[in-house]
A and B are shown apart, each in its own frame.
Chain A
Amino acid sequence: MLRLVFRRLLALAPLLFIVSVLTFSFTSLLPSDPVDLIIGDTGTQEQHEMVRERLGLNQPIVVRYVQWLGRAVRGDLGNSFFNSVSVTGAVMQRLPVTLSLTAVSALIAIIVGIAAGVAAALRPRSWIDRLATVGATIGQAIPNFWFGLLLVAIFAVNLRWFPATGFTPISVSPWDWLRSVTLPAVALGLSSSAAIARQVRSAMVGVLQQDYIRAARAQGLSARRVILKHALTNAMVPVVAVLSFQITVLLGGALIVEQVFAINGLGTLAITAVRQQDIPMIQGLVLVMVGLVVIVQLATDVIYGFLNPKARPS
């Protein structure tokens, strides 16, 4: 297992390199010029040249990339074109915000999804199964930003249980953090919990028909032990594969939900950076996101191997 983790982490380096080359070249291929955006339409030719030189944009793309890479390997992702803040600093400042939103919504999606899926699978075609199926269909169909607005209207504006916008860091006040993160996390986690519920239900129905469930029941194990230990452990094998994908989806969805709740996370930063063609900022953001996705996948691979002995490297 340790070797798997080590191998995967080693593979992360070339992956990040390829991704950085791609983002660097794509942003340079954009038809508009970031310099135009910085000084506006009124600037003179000299001003243009000055800014271009200050940003290093007068140099060939390969040279710029190598210079960037040289600093990046030491943790310096350059400075923003616009306000000269450090990209590393800006990203690191926003990262906890997006991470806590994604983590809480993943937690909600996993708990709700597994509970609903198991409840539905235990009594196929019962009312609870039908309720879960209909709920999952609706949950997957509703866009998260619309659901977010709905939650704000009900729980923030009308009932005043939660703040409508903003984010309180957990270090400032854990209680306010929880209050500020609940509505966006629910809005974000809805469709994932629906996807997980479906997967858990079908996997669980299949596992419950296996003879080892019959054998466990015949040995007189409690229903709880049969369901949790024998059935769910095996039903989670296909679910974990979906889980990794869903967490990636949540990371992407967080960028949109942050807008609805006016949360200053990576999403807000990314949208501004793209609009301004702030190449170093885009570059930094993409790399951090790719790193997160790889770590999530690595974690799910480890869990997968733990649940499924056949997948363990021998």
Chain B
Amino acid sequence: MSDDALLEIRDLDVTYWGRSLLGLKGKGFHAVKSANLSIRPGETLGLVGESGSGKSSIANTVLGLVPATAGSIRFGDVDLASMRTRYPSAVRKEIQAVFQDPYSSLNPSMTVEDIVTEALRVHTAMTRDERRGRALELLKLVSLSEEHLERHPHQFSGGQRQRIAIASALALTPKLIVLDEPVSALDVSTQNQIINLLYERRDALGIAYLLIAHDLALVHHISDRIAVMYLGHIVEEGPSDRVYRSPAHPYTKALLDAVPLLDPDAQRRRRATRKALPARETPRVASQGCPYRNRCPHVMPRCEAEMPPDYPVDGGGTAACFLFDGSTATTERTSDLGAPA
């Protein structure tokens, strides 16, 4: 991919080693397999997939919480993967995170001021007064006020807590914020406020987001590009509108079909087609072949034997599916499956 990328992930593998009884390495669990992703400065990349697809593992690896097993993660001029989980302060400052559950992600024994300024205390030489001043600025950025500084997390609502988490992620004005399901724990009415806040901050400060979510509609709304994960593989990647309006990979289509339709008749018809599909168990560790082959309506003999590489898709991006192997005939075949309304 391009050289101007802020974050470039190449052939990333993340494997968790279970501990067997004798303390020997057991069979590894491959959470992420040869993933490729890139994010340009100020860009938002949405990473979607069902739970267990490995999207949070990518987040944790980028944040240095989990070491990469293989591959590289280039951030600016440094390779994060080679540092395992020991990033220097200069790198930590540039990558911050907002997590899913604001009821769990704020330390209950700390005041808002301490939570928001902790990163400043560790990574900068700011004095107490300077930090307090910065905390005030940050609270204003997220529509909270001075009176909230001395309070504790339990005195806030879920939406307010997530604002505090965002304020603390913004404290060092990082280049990249990893948003791990930032709104899925919130009320729908609050979700919008938080998303608008994230939007605003991105446009004002030029921060890049790695947005992890399972809700494609939401991701489409805020992202420039979308990557779709399935069982540790990135199966499709492309511009947000293209992926959302004309998904290429059969799994992306299935994911979009999982969003309920407003018209009950249309919903019923769609459900009927879905039920006609073979219901087969998905193997947890696909040794070879396409990870989606057991659930795919278009499965071909090739899919059993080899892992499809990333093929370019009309309208931008790639899909890891043999349906896109060169010939235009296959592309037409997919179009009769219909894009979601």
Residues of A participating in the B interface, judged by any CB pair closer than 8 Å: 125, 127, 210-212, 214-222, 225, 230, 233-234, 237, 307-310
The CA-CA distance from A218 to B65 in the complex, in Å, is 7
A219 touches B92 (CB 8 A): yes
Interface-facing stretch out of B1-9, B29-37, B100-108: B100-108
B123 touches A218 (CB 8 A): no
B19 touches A125 (CB 8 A): yes
The CA-CA distance from A84 to B23 in the complex, in Å, is 68
Tell me if B97 is interfacial: C-beta within 8 Å of chain A: yes
A310 touches B104 (CB 8 A): no
The CA-CA distance from A219 to B152 in the complex, in Å, is 20
**Contact residue among B23, B101, B122, B154 (Cβ-Cβ distance under 8 Å from A309):** B154
Which residue of chain B has its CB nearest to the CB of A213?
B107
B63 touches A218 (CB 8 A): yes
Contacts of A308 in B (CB 8 A): 108-109
Known: A215-B99, A309-B154. A234 touches B65 (CB 8 A): no
12 A–B contacts from the bound complex (CB under 8 Å)? A212-B104, A214-B60, A215-B97, A215-B99, A215-B105, A216-B107, A219-B92, A220-B64, A220-B93, A233-B109, A308-B108, A309-B152
Known: A219-B122, A220-B87, A221-B122. A307 touches B99 (CB 8 A): no
Contacts of A220 in B (CB 8 A): 64, 87, 89, 92-93, 119, 122-123
**Contact residue among B19, B101, B109, B178 (Cβ-Cβ distance under 8 Å from A211):** B101
A211 touches B108 (CB 8 A): no
Tell me if B165 is interfacial: C-beta within 8 Å of chain A: yes
Q: A233-B109, A309-B152 are in contact. List 4 more A-B contacts (CB 8 A).
A: A217-B64, A219-B122, A220-B93, A234-B108
The CA-CA distance from A230 to B119 in the complex, in Å, is 13
Contacts of B152 in A (CB 8 A): 309-310
B96 touches A219 (CB 8 A): yes
B104 touches A210 (CB 8 A): yes
**Contact residue among B23, B105, B168 (Cβ-Cβ distance under 8 Å from A214):** B105
3 shortest A-B CB distances, which residue pairs? A220-B92, A211-B105, A309-B152
Q: How far is the CB of B162 from chain A (nearest CB, A)?
A: 12
Contacts of B304 in A (CB 8 A): none
Contacts of B97 in A (CB 8 A): 214-215, 218-219
B64 touches A218 (CB 8 A): yes
Contacts of A210 in B (CB 8 A): 104-105
Which residue of chain A has its CB nearest to the CB of B165?
A215
Tell me if B215 is interfacial: C-beta within 8 Å of chain A: no
A310 touches B108 (CB 8 A): yes
The CA-CA distance from A222 to B118 in the complex, in Å, is 12
Q: How far is the CB of A213 from chain B (nearest CB, A)?
A: 8
Which residue of chain B has its CB nearest to the CB of A210?
B104
Q: How far is the CB of B25 from chain A (nearest CB, A)?
A: 15
Which residue of chain B has its CB nearest to the CB of A307?
B109
Which residue of chain A has its CB nearest to the CB of B151?
A309
The CA-CA distance from A26 to B154 in the complex, in Å, is 48
Which residue of chain A has its CB nearest to the CB of B114?
A229
Contacts of B92 in A (CB 8 A): 219-220
Contacts of B95 in A (CB 8 A): 218
Task: Give the interface centre of A216, A218, A221, A230 by most chain B CB atoms within 10 Å.
Answer: A218
Task: Give the interface centre of A212, A217, A233, A307 by most chain B CB atoms within 10 Å.
Answer: A212
Contacts of A230 in B (CB 8 A): 107
Known: A215-B99, A215-B165. A221 touches B65 (CB 8 A): no
Which residue of chain A has its CB nearest to the CB of B91?
A220
Q: Which of B119-157 contact A (CB under 8 A)?
A: 119, 122-123, 152, 154
Task: Give the interface centre of B87, B108, B154 by most chain A CB atoms within 10 Å.
Answer: B108
Q: How far is the CB of B181 from chain A (nearest CB, A)?
A: 11
Contacts of B64 in A (CB 8 A): 217-218, 220
Contacts of A216 in B (CB 8 A): 107, 118
**Contact residue among A215, A222, A225, A309 (Cβ-Cβ distance under 8 Å from B108):** A309
Contacts of A214 in B (CB 8 A): 60, 65, 97, 99, 105
Which residue of chain B has its CB nearest to the CB of A212?
B107
Q: How far is the CB of B173 from chain A (nearest CB, A)?
A: 14
Which residue of chain B has its CB nearest to the CB of A124?
B19
Contacts of A215 in B (CB 8 A): 97, 99, 105-106, 165, 168
Which residue of chain A has its CB nearest to the CB of B106?
A212
Q: Which of B10-24 contact A (CB under 8 A)?
A: 19, 23
**Contact residue among A125, A219, A237, A309 (Cβ-Cβ distance under 8 Å from B118):** A219
The CA-CA distance from A136 to B108 in the complex, in Å, is 29
Which residue of chain A has its CB nearest to the CB of B105?
A211
B119 touches A219 (CB 8 A): yes
The CA-CA distance from A188 to B49 in the complex, in Å, is 56
Task: Give the interface centre of B60, B65, B101, B107 by most chain A CB atoms within 10 Å.
Answer: B107
